[in-house]
Structure 1
Amino acid sequence: MTIPQHAIAGLWPALLTPIHTDGSIDIPRMIAHGQHLLSSGSDGLTLFGTTGEGTSFTVQQRMAAADAFVAAGVMGDQLVINLTALARDDAVALGVHAVKIKAKAGLLMPPFYYNGQHDAGLVNYIGEVIDEVCAHAGHCLPIILYHFPGLSGVGWSVSAIAQLMQKHPQQVVSIKDSSADVAHSKMLAQTFPKLAVLVGCEPDVMPTQLVGGAGSICGLANIAPKLMRRMMDEPAHVSAADDKLMRDLLGLLSLQPGMPFVSAYKAMLAELTGDDAWLRVRTPLTALSAQQENAVRQGYRKLH
């Protein structure tokens, strides 16, 4: 099955971010990992999303890393840049920089730091970011709305999405649905056929593709890009073996209570690569306990 023609489509792994012992970004290791994912069938990379601990880094750190990818030969249109930040002007600065490097799109979560927000405020916020980026960069940036209410506490309603698409038809081109609700993902694809629906929950990607979904921004592609590519290329004919492997790998994220999923992914990647530098995370996240790490490693070995 051919993925529908949207402004953005395919597999865009939510890249894990390797950390030096001082908490700074290990850019060479990050670029090497990204290049491996691109050579393994990914269409592009998503930098500094939730899986990439993005909001734990400054605007300057995130820009410098994106610049390093481009300097290393990764094309700007192979990058989605997470613009999510507490201050609106920080999101704008990241957006202006994304335009500068010719990024594919900017990923933007609704403001999540006030209770009782209304759709009007969320729509105004996105509109201001879009307009400010256009004005300061001299060119507009496609926007992927980031829907992750389980994390942010704030989601995009159908009404807000419709308003944004009407007001900004050339910029609001996609939504990343991390609701982990396949019915919701499919509803978005069916309600907004012009919107590129990129699904975060891996088992929901293929069912959503079958009703018009555009692809995925997901964490598992850090570990199994070829598996995700294979399933997404034939969403109507996913083998039982591939489906089981995907679910078994995802099961390692919750082998024991209280495991931060980013830390669990990093433990898997450390086991996969033999590189324990991947175990480090940025505060406020914590690395897995020795017992948790051992359980993840053993579980991963059993699957390979």
Structure 2
Amino acid sequence: MVDLSSHPLTGVVAAIPTPVSTDFVPNAGQLIDLAERLLAQGCHGINLLGTTGEAVSFTRRERVRLMEDVSKRGDLVARMMVGTGAAAFDDAVELTRVADRSGYRAALVLPPFYYKNITQKEIADWVSFLIDRAAPRSASIYLYNFPQMTGLTFERQSVALLRERFGEVVAGLKDSSGNRKYAAELASLFPGFAVFPSNEALLAERVQDGFAGCISASVNASAALARAVHDDPVGARISGVVDQMNAIRTALTQLPLVPALKALVGSDLNDGNWARTVPPLEPLDETMTCQLMKAVTEIKSGQKMKVN
């Protein structure tokens, strides 16, 4: 079995949304409140400013300010990874430097996603230049594989090159491709390399597949259930907890995920401002919000309902 004990983050990691003002400026205080709530509910860690966090919709200055504001809570950032991917190389370097000096446990790095027809060596070289320039001293580098969005994949060739060049500095990968075979293959090929699928349904098979846990948006709505599955997969399956957790994810993913998640968080916290999204994403309408809330409430109470 792969020993992941040395990795900075393992287990259930919530990819959290970013609350914004009417001018679409991130609100650090609200984000901290949500992170604390999710950690109290059982999450091992938090991923901020990822796809769920609408990171690429913010300027570098806005992202740096949010990262630094959150980092004032040192006890919190010690359990956080932060997305530092950007189209501009210098932006990605600066964001990764800020992540490192601010105490985040890991920086989650996208490939150079604007140019699509590039080789695995070119992808690895780009990440290598970033690491050389940012020179992280404490924050590990995690690769963010999301080919549906970026048009690029971190294949075994680029991962192998980066592990050869930087060893444990390149500590793992978040896979949002939905390809379990791909994720399990990377976990098997690279001992000690922490692979996180984005689907918490795979928590029940994490030991056999060698996964470090999951980094998921939908565990914002099912943190306690996901932790129970992580801690006792067999018991959670027998008790129906796995089915409840998966049903909540299904209810969310039948809708535009980020708007649905922000609407659900806003409803849970009784704060309608949470439902606000950054263009081009549009907030969930009132009818769909009510349907989603009803579905999730009934799932958590042991009933099942499909969102139409």
Q: TM-score, normalised by structure 1?
A: 0.91
The match for 2:204 is: 206
The answer (yes or no) to whether the contact 1:6–1:195 under 8 Å persists in 2 is no
* Aligned-partner Cα distance in 2 for 1:242–1:95: 37
**Deviation string, structure 1 residues 199-232 (Cα, Å, up to 9, x no partner):** 2112123313333211121112211211111111
5 Å-filtered alignment, 1:22-41, equals 22-41=23-42
The answer (yes or no) to whether the contact 1:85–1:91 under 8 Å persists in 2 is yes
* Aligned-partner Cα distance in 2 for 1:140–1:301: 41
5 Å-filtered alignment, 1:268-279, equals 268-279=264-275
* Aligned-partner Cα distance in 2 for 1:221–1:133: 31
Correspondence 1:291 to 2:293: no
The match for 1:125 is: 126
Count matched residues: 298
**Deviation string, structure 1 residues 133-188 (Cα, Å, up to 9, x no partner):** 11xx6x36411011111221111111111111111113111011111122222222
* Aligned-partner Cα distance in 1 for 2:292–2:176: 23
The one-letter amino acid of 1:104's match is R
Correspondence 1:164 to 2:189: no
The answer (yes or no) to whether the contact 2:71–2:103 under 8 Å persists in 1 is no
Pair 1:141–1:74, CA change in 2 (3 A): closer
* Aligned-partner Cα distance in 2 for 1:39–1:113: 38
The match for 2:304 is: none
Instruction: Tell me by how many angstroms 1:26 deviates.
Output: 2.1
* Aligned-partner Cα distance in 2 for 1:125–1:142: 17
SS at structure 2 position matched to 1:29 = helix
Pair 1:4–1:100, CA change in 2 (3 A): closer
**Deviation string, structure 1 residues 43-64 (Cα, Å, up to 9, x no partner):** 2211101111111112222222
5 Å-filtered alignment, 1:171-182, equals 171-182=169-180
The answer (yes or no) to whether the contact 1:111–1:122 under 8 Å persists in 2 is yes
Instruction: Tell me by how many angstroms 1:115 deviates.
Output: 2.2
* Aligned-partner Cα distance in 2 for 1:40–1:254: 22
Pair 1:3–1:248, CA change in 2 (3 A): farther
The answer (yes or no) to whether the contact 2:187–2:211 under 8 Å persists in 1 is yes
**Deviation string, structure 1 residues 66-119 (Cα, Å, up to 9, x no partner):** 222222353432221111111011011011111111211110111111121111
Unaligned runs of 5+ in 1: none
The answer (yes or no) to whether the contact 1:82–1:106 under 8 Å persists in 2 is yes
Correspondence 1:248 to 2:247: yes
The match for 2:260 is: 264
Instruction: Tell me by how many angstroms 1:2 deviates.
Output: 11
* Aligned-partner Cα distance in 1 for 2:170–2:36: 28
Pair 1:4–1:73, CA change in 2 (3 A): closer
Pair 1:268–1:3, CA change in 2 (3 A): farther
* Aligned-partner Cα distance in 1 for 2:263–2:284: 8
The one-letter amino acid of 2:252's match is L
The one-letter amino acid of 2:271's match is D
The match for 1:5 is: 5
The one-letter amino acid of 1:244's match is D
Pair 1:194–1:73, CA change in 2 (3 A): closer
* Aligned-partner Cα distance in 2 for 1:276–1:75: 25
